[in-house]
């Protein structure tokens, strides 16, 4: 059985599907991508530990056939071919032949019946704005825990879909991000709340291209997302996410307003000479803030490299505060804000600070960050 596919179409969909395939699968077949060729469509399916992805691209085929193939080898071959239609042939259930002009390749594969079944969702009943979902993922996923030994629930995001809004919250135990977008969700009468792995959100963000809507459904164990002809199925995390309402500071009265880009540039330069340290299994680059009315000094010091000092003009009328932060955590926040100014709300030199964007009316975006108090830092050193 033969079929042909345009090279650029195949690369676009194969790159998405292959990204979710585990590099060290528990079973050999989970390191493969399933190809199913029909009369007009080639369906590519990949399955990882917590998620599955099904994509489609146009193909020319008079018959229906299938085979599971190692995605990296297939991608390496296709990328090196010139742009045009590529001819494929499945002579048997464990072999795929690839032809292009005078080039010929044969890849070993596995039959379709060895590929595990993909969970099937119910009818998609909820439509969400694709651009909003993508932006909320970018704005929150960076704060999810990257440590395998951290609490399981902190490796994902809490998603809350309400009749009048969408919320996304992440935390790694040292910081917390809260994003809320006002949006009327048609057909929804009560809140839907679930915990989803950060990898699933990253892949959902990647598969949102030029589509206007993300179709959504869920059951007790899985969340289902459909974007155009692409369908992502993600396992849900168990456990309870921390009560973020209790974590977000409510009585931080001292407000500093600063230019986002200038603040980011100063912190990135300060990181060059900031002392590296390991605090509670987290790599830190500590910088000291000296905040007084009208100005902020950012001081970095390393016993082996030297020291630096940056000064910024800020809007601030509170009392003098001296404290320390892990500078990359603030940079992470500033890298994704879209407003010219941000606010930092402080209580003292020991309690967590709250950072907000200023002038962003259509999105509530808050960032809670623990400080490294000067007393604590001196004790550790």
Flag whether 119 is in a domain. no
Query: For the segment 190-216, what is each residue's pLDDT rounded down to a tens digit?
Result: 999 999 999 999 999 999 987 889 999
User: What's the rounded Cα separation, in Å, for the pair 368 and 344?
Assistant: 10
Identify whether residues 278 and 228 lie together within a single domain: no
Predicted local confidence at residue 1, as pLDDT:
78
Query: For the segment 233-245, what is each residue's pLDDT rounded down to a tens digit?
Result: 999 998 899 999 9
Query: What Å distances lie between residue 20 and 13, 41, 55, 119, CA to CA?
Result: 12, 21, 12, 16
Flag whether 343 is in a domain. yes
Q: What is the mean pLDDT of the chain?
A: 92
Query: Residue-wise over 105-125: b if at least 16 C-beta within 10 A, else e?
Result: bebebbeeeebeebeebeeee
For residues 23-31, average pLDDT: 89
Identify whether residues 257 and 229 lie together within a single domain: no
For residue 22, give both structure tokens: 């585990």
Can you list the alpha helix ranges (DSSP code H) found in the chain? 7-19, 71-79, 130-140, 198-207, 244-247, 260-273, 327-336, 374-380
Identify whether residues 238 and 273 lie together within a single domain: no
Identify whether residues 66 and 148 lie together within a single domain: no
Identify whether residues 100 and 184 lie together within a single domain: no
Flag whether 121 is in a domain. no
Range of the domain at 213: 126-244
Identify whether residues 193 and 224 lie together within a single domain: yes
Query: Dihedrals φ, ψ of 26, to 5°?
Result: -70, -30
Flag whether 197 is in a domain. yes
Flag whether 120 is in a domain. no
For residue 366, give both structure tokens: 């808050």
The pTM score is 0.90
Identify whether residues 252 and 211 lie together within a single domain: no
**Which of these three, 218, 244, 270, is where a domain ends?**
244
Q: How many domains does the chain have?
A: 3
Q: How confident is the model at residue 148 (pLDDT cuts 50, 70, 90)?
A: low
Identify whether residues 240 and 308 lie together within a single domain: no
Identify whether residues 376 and 303 lie together within a single domain: yes
CATH code of the domain containing 9: 3.10.150.10
Distance of CA 26 to the CA centre of its chain: 24
């Amino acid at each position: 059985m033969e079929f042909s596919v345009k090279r650029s179409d195949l690369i676009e969909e194969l790159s998405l599907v292959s990204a979710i395939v585990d590099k060290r699968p528990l079973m050999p077949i989970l390191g493969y991508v399933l190809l199913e060729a029909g009369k007009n469509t080639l369906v590519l399916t990949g399955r990882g530990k917590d998620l599955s992805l099904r994509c489609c691209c146009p193909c020319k085929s008079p018959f229906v056939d299938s085979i599971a193939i190692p995605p990296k080898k297939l991608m390496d071959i296709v990328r090196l071919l010139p742009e045009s239609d590529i001819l494929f042939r499945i002579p048997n259930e464990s072999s795929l032949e690839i032809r292009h002009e005078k080039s010929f390749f044969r890849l070993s594969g596995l039959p379709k019946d060895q590929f595990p079944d993909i969970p099937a969702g119910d009818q998609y009943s909820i439509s969400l704005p694709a651009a909003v979902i993508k932006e909320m993922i970018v704005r929150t996923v960076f704060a999810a825990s990257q440590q395998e030994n951290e609490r399981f629930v902190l490796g994902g995001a809490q998603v809350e879909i309400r009749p009048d809004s969408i919320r996304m919250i992440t935390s790694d135990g040292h910081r917390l991000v809260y994003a809320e977008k006002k949006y009327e969700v048609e057909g929804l009468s009560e809140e839907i709340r679930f915990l989803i792995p950060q990898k699933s959100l990253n892949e959902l963000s990647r598969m949102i291209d030029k589509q206007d809507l993300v179709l959504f459904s869920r059951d007790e164990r899985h969340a289902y997302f459909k974007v155009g002809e692409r369908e992502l199925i993600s396992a849900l995390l168990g456990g309870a996410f921390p009560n973020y309402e209790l974590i977000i500071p409510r009585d931080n009265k001292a407000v500093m307003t600063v230019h986002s880009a200038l603040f980011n540039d100063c912190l990135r330069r300060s990181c060059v000479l900031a002392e590296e340290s390991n605090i509670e299994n987290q790599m830190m680059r500590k910088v000291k803030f000296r905040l007084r009315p009208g100005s902020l000094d950012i001081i970095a010091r390393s016993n082996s490299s030297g020291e630096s000092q940056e000064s910024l003009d800020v809007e601030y009328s509170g009392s003098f505060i001296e404290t320390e932060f892990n500078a990359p955590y603030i940079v992470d926040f500033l890298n994704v804000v879209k407003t010219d100014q941000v606010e930092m709300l402080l209580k003292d030199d020991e309690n967590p600070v709250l950072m907000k964007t200023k002038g962003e009316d259509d999105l509530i975006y808050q960032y809670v960050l623990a400080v490294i108090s000067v007393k604590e830092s001196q004790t550790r050193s």
